[in-house]
Amino acid sequence: METFDIAVIGAGPGGYPAAIRAAQLGAKVAIIEKEKLGGTCLNWGCIPTKALIAAAETFEKIKHAEKYGITVKDASVDYSVMIGNKDKAVGTLRSGINSLLTANGVKQFTGTASFVDRNTIEISGGASIPASRLVGSLAPPENGAHGVTRPTEHITAKKIIIATGSTSAMPGFLPKHERVVESRAFLDIKKLPASMIVLGGGFIGCELACMAAMLGVKVTIVELLEDILLLLDADVRREVRAHMEKNLDIRVLTGKALDKISADAKSVRGSFSDETLSADLLLCAVGRKPVTDGLKLENAGLKTTERGFIEADDYCRTKVANIFAIGDVTGKIQLAHYATAQGIAAAENAVQTKQHQHDTIVPNVIFTSPEVGTAGLSEDDAKKQNRAVKTGKFRFAGLGKGMATGENVGFVKWIADATTDQLLGAAAVGPHATELIAEAAAVIRSELTSRELGRTIHAHPTFSEIWMEAAHALHGECIHAPPKRK
Amino acid sequence: MATPIIMPKFGQMTEESAIVEWLKKEGDKVAKGDILFTVETDKSVMEVESFEAGTLLKIVVPPHVNVPVQSTVGFLGNPGETIPTATAPAPAAPKPATAAASVAAPAAPRAPIAAAVSAPIAAPVAAPIAPLPAPAAPSLFRISPRAAALAKHSVIDATRIKGTGPEGRVVEKDVRNYLQQHGYDKLRISPAAKELAAKEKLDVLAIQATNDSGRISVADVQRAVAEKPKPMSKMRQVIAQRLTQSFRDTPHFYVTISVDMTELIAYRNQLKAAGAPYTVTDFIAEAVVLTLQEFPDVNSSTDGKTTRWNSHVNLGIAVSIEQGLVVPVIRAAEQLPLLELCQRSKELATKARAGKATPDELSGGTFTISNMGMMDVESFGPIINPGESAILGVASTRPQPVVRDGKIVVRQMMKLTLSCDHRIVDGALGAKFTNAIKQKLEDIELWKRLTA
């Protein structure tokens, strides 16, 4: 039985950075993956959706090119080419992870991991793959390693990091039919439907709804709660929803469940209130559930929470001393970059004696149209914590760059402590919001005050100037906005 | 003419009180029976109702100022009525405590905050950095406006600086030298942290960075804010004063015994199932009341020269509340049948927890029980209440192996610890007294008779 210092279960955006960091620190590391390197993020999540959204946005721009004085005739979409490009990008990135793991001396195992005891893992249904046998862009073939299912293996490790991630939740009331899909299956359909119902107005549902709508699909979103994207402040939410409804023609129905869902060869149907909705496809995006099936956590003395998550503290430690947990399976914040931060902290805490917490300022980005980025405290959070804050807002329409490029929807907002002026949170909704939020995250983490940020010279003409303007707005000192009437 | 609102006298011992909060503003309509303000006495926070209807014309005494009882704290009347030239009563001057109750916090200005004196400086620097000197007394401190402005801008405590100007006045040069000596140029602090330190009037040189970067963060300043000395509540000050007095002046000794509660608990459960209200604490209280009548020495007090027997058993039962600890007293407990003792004890505990017990209900005890049975403790020795000669500490009842008839059996055992004033109670007396309580608790026939 082979022995390791560290074994990582799951090679997603949490697991593979953990493995690499542990190897950098000199540990002998194993990583076990039952499907593909890169996990959900790379194969069926962040990356493929961004490839498709980029294509959709290009098409959207072409459709509206006339306002820039460019006439494009007969623009059309070949979805299969888009899918091909997406697969190519994903494949390239996946082989990149493989080379990184190999270069760092991390031993890869393919198969399903389960605990025998707190130090021993059984790996079944796969085998370790010598890096030399991996072909170019592709990780192991679908049917077991190289077509041959290897016998079950056992390894032991001093410390184990669980990074098994999450999977789409499919409620039991949904019919099992090819017209009813979740996000992973949706990304592999070869032809876009003419119409689509999106069940769930969270960020996954809204991103895919925007992408499909830009490519000409007639989209209806049904959300049980009172609004879509409820994690966002109301003003940010309103901006996104208004644009989705008015400019992308997406129908947004909220506050009630979609009942009596049925599917047949012709369509998928459901009733909302008194109305019957019908479409070619139903995309279910009601949330994600942790993956712990088959792990046999009980053999290691670990229990999941009522909702199935593995509890981990800010040092990524579980209740069992030698086992760490990171990423979606911990049920904290389900974001790839958060999993990565946790993974690096877990690896360092597993290898080194000095323990440290992972960071807590986590930028959140949503690739809807318009895009959204948030970091730190929201206005809603402040209200819940009963914390006195003030806000400074500035719209892209007031920005030279926004007007020049015609990208002028939306705004950014700073949330600052009312007494110390410390920048505690930020939200951006509008062009390049997902990129712009990076500055806000760095500023919040550095504990700058809005006065400091307001004095920081920002290049003109850029979209990033908007942070400076919004910081001025906090004190009613905007150069490019009329003074507020008293 | 407007009617004065008077600071009431709570209990016989209260000489001064402070208003915690006015619940009405000047100009507010007041109905008879409305609560005007709350008062902190040395025992609890009390609500003060209006005896008359009208408008609150003027507030004379703001919150948190100690004034003698019977002082005018405000005026009630009709709008427009003349108010007698309101002379705010002088805040009660700090004076030598005469009675136990008078332990008002001195109203003198608090000393400047001396946060973490001579804390090491944050930045990891090679050059030696002088430790921070102690702040100067406020009356002796002189500083020029320019120096004061620089110190304020730098967010440091200027009173630590030794002045070289006339009469030891701190001048700008002194501040500059001081900043240089204490490594101010190497100090690293986030802008928000500096802002917060300035708001909280902290000295950034006295704040330590805790993260790896050596840069003082908001969390570091918040830690320093939390470390700033804060005044204790009136109640805690009284607790501190009384317990210190007792522990210093009373020679304590302790007697611990184990009581087999198995049968009494079984009997109590039987009673409970039948709907009777008794708790185990009630049984202990009753056993103590009965035993105190057999041992009048324990139900007495001494000043070191004379002893005084108490003709009544005034039984105090310590109750833990949010702000601290209070001891409601069941007066003349020896005259109450068990059922009434149980009801009275419950009633007083409820009132005390709600902060509604009157000062007279919280004083005058002759013996106290402190029950920590619900806190999972093995045993403990409580401190005697001043004016009493003993206190009984009741620990948790737990299944324990004990020897009965030469065999080891499991019984529900509870430890009782009697803390005694050795000036009155000697070892033998303490032992006899405690064993007499034990015998009563283990005598199931007694309880059958008392609850019949």
Would you list which residues of chain B are within 8 Å, Cβ to Cβ, of chain A?
A: 190-193, 195-196, 199, 212, 217-218
Please count the residues of chain B: 452
Higher-confidence position of A166 and A129: A166
B155 CB neighbours in chain A (<8 A) are: none
Classify residue A77 by its DSSP letter: -
Tell me how close the Cα of A348 comes to any Cα of chain B, in angstroms.
15
Q: pLDDT at residue B93 above 80?
A: no
Instruction: Give me the CATH number covering residue B29.
Output: 2.40.50.100
Interchain CB contact of A24 with B (< 8 Å)? no
Q: What is the pLDDT of residues A119-142, one digit of tens each?
A: 999 999 864 444 444 433 344 444
Q: Do A421 and B193 touch (CB under 8 A)?
A: no
* Domains of chain A and CATH, by start: 2-45+83-167+288-351 (3.50.50.60), 180-284 (3.50.50.60), 370-473 (3.30.390.30)
Mean pLDDT of all residues belonging to chain B? 85
What's the distance, CA A425 to chain centroid? Answer: 19
Are B217 and B187 contained in the same domain?
yes
| Cross-chain CB nearest to A421 (options B190, B195, B217) | B195
Most A CBs within 10 Å, among B190, B213, B217, to test the A interface = B190
Q: Compute the nearest-CA separation of B207 from chain A (Å).
A: 16
Measure in Å the smallest separation between the Cα of B191 and chain A Cα atoms. 5
- AA identity, residue B409: V
If asked whether residues B276 and B308 sit together in one domain, one would say yes
Residues in B touching A452 (Cβ below 8 Å) = 191
Cis peptide before B135 (omega within 30 of 0): no
**What's the pLDDT tens digit per position in B120-178?**
344 444 456 777 887 777 667 889 999 999 999 999 999 889 899 888 899 999 999 99
Among the partner residues B192, B212, B217, nearest to A420 by beta-carbon distance: B192
Determine, yes or no, domain membership for B45.
Answer: yes
- Whether pLDDT at A183 is above 50: yes
pLDDT at residue B114 tops 50: no
- Interchain CB distance below 8 Å, B196 and A446: no
The residues with which B419 forms a beta bridge, in sequence order, are B254, B391
How many angstroms separate the first and last alpha carbons of chain A? Answer: 76
pLDDT of A213 = 96
Query: A440 vs B108, which has greater pLDDT?
Result: A440
Residues B246 and B347 in one domain: yes
Residues from chain B contacting residue A455 (CB–CB below 8 Å) = none
Q: Could you list the residue range(s) of the whole structural domain that residue B196 is in?
A: 138-227
What are the residue ranges of helices labelled H in A104-202?
A: 183-186
Write out chain B residues lying below 8 Å of A421, CB-based.
Answer: 192, 195
Cβ A52 vs Cβ A379: under 8 Å:
no
The average confidence (pLDDT) of chain A is: 91
The tokens for B357 are 């017990």
Residues B216 and B254 both lie in one domain: no
The CATH number assigned to the domain holding B166 equals 4.10.320.10
Q: Is the pLDDT of residue B234 over 90?
A: no
Residues B348-364: tens digit of each pLDDT: 999 998 888 888 898 89
Q: What is the CATH number of the domain that holds B356?
A: 3.30.559.10
Query: Which one, of B418, B447, B395, B450, lies nearest residue B265 by Cα?
Result: B447
Token duo for residue A344: 């690096």
Q: Note the pLDDT tens digit of each residue in B413-447.
A: 999 999 999 999 999 999 999 999 999 999 999 99
- For the whole prediction, is pTM greater than 0.90? no
- Catalytic residue numbers of B read 422
Q: What pLDDT shows up at residue B95?
A: 42
Q: CB-based contact (8 Å) between A385 and chain B?
A: no
Two structure tokens written together for A253: 């129905």
A447 touches chain B (CB under 8 A): yes
- Chain A and chain B share a number of CB contacts under 8 A equal to 32
Phi, psi angles (nearest 5°) of residue B156: -125, 170
Residue B69's pLDDT is 80
d(CA A220, CA A282): 10
Residue whose structure tokens are 């959300």: A223
Contacts of A157 (CB under 8 A, 6+ apart): A3, A4, A5, A6, A7, A30, A119, A121
Which listed residue (A64, A460, A472, A475) is catalytic? A460
Residues B193 and B165 both lie in one domain:
yes
Alpha carbons A316 and A345: distance in angstroms, whole number = 7
Residues B376 and B271 in one domain: yes
Per-residue pLDDT, B11: 66
Give yes or no: residues B280 and B185 share one domain: no
- A417/B193 CB distance under 8 A: no
List CB contacts (< 8 A) between A451 and chain B.
Answer: 191
DSSP per position, A25-52 = TT--EEEEESS-TTHHHHHHSHHHHHHH
Burial (CB count <10 Å: 0-12, 13-18, 19+), residue B163: buried
Task: Judge whether A183 and A44 are in contact, CB under 8 Å.
Answer: yes
For residues A300-321, average pLDDT: 94
